[in-house]
């Protein structure tokens, strides 16, 4: 396996993380470094992808950080696991849809191990669960592909608070359509990161 696994136990400031990803992207282009999977949490922050609209900001007092990933506005913060990656698709199949399916299936397969049924949605990219009679989003995906290198990543709501979502239309959705794993099933998710990484690598290499 030629992928570096990096885990940060302390929250990493958003700008620092993106700067690190951009640097790794350039290093991979030059064949200087391995591919990367990086698990972390961010301090509370609202980020806006390339397809966001200002009308999705409900609380006009909040600060939005614009980013070059795909997707709309979302919130990151404590209790939410971020899985960043820099993956070279030049070494694999140059198929964006296939790579997105690999990400989606890695999350779906992992949640299945906890006996949580989840699914992808072509119209609203991300991973969803059925909870309290309605479909709710539990994971967001935002990827940028440049020179056939995929970077940024996905986030999974584990035990984060949900109140900050009320300040925006997260991914263009109403805040009540967002949930976390603790609301779905109150169990110990201690090995969650390992399982997601294992499934992600396995799906990529298969």
Helix (H, G, I), strand (E, B) or coil at 32: coil
Residues 6+ away with beta carbon under 8 Å from 36: 3, 4, 6, 21, 24, 84, 85, 86
Q: How many CB atoms lie within 10 A of CB 94?
A: 11
- Distance (Å, rounded) from C-alpha 189 to C-alpha 57? 32
Active site residues: 171
Write down the H helix ranges in 42-146.
96-113
């Amino acid at each position: 396996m030629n992928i570096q696994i990096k885990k940060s136990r302390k929250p990493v400031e958003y700008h620092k993380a993106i700067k690190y990803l951009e640097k790794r992207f350039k290093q991979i282009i030059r064949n200087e470094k391995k591919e990367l999977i990086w698990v972390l949490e961010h301090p509370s922050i609202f980020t806006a992808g390339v397809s966001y609209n200002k009308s999705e900001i409900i609380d006009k007092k909040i600060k939005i950080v614009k980013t070059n990933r795909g997707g709309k506005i979302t919130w990151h913060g404590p209790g939410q696991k971020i899985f960043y990656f820099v993956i070279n698709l030049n070494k694999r199949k140059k198929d964006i849809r296939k790579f997105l399916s690999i990400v989606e299936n890695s999350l779906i397969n992992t949640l299945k191990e906890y006996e949580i049924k989840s699914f992808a949605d072509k119209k609203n990219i991300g991973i969803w669960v059925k909870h309290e009679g309605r479909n709710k989003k539990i994971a967001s995906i935002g990827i940028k592909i440049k020179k056939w290198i995929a970077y940024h990543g996905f986030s999974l709501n584990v035990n984060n608070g949900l109140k900050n979502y009320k300040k925006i239309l997260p991914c263009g959705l109403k805040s009540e359509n967002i949930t976390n794993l603790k609301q779905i099933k109150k169990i110990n998710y201690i090995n969650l990161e390992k399982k997601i990484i294992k499934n992600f690598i396995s799906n990529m290499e298969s």
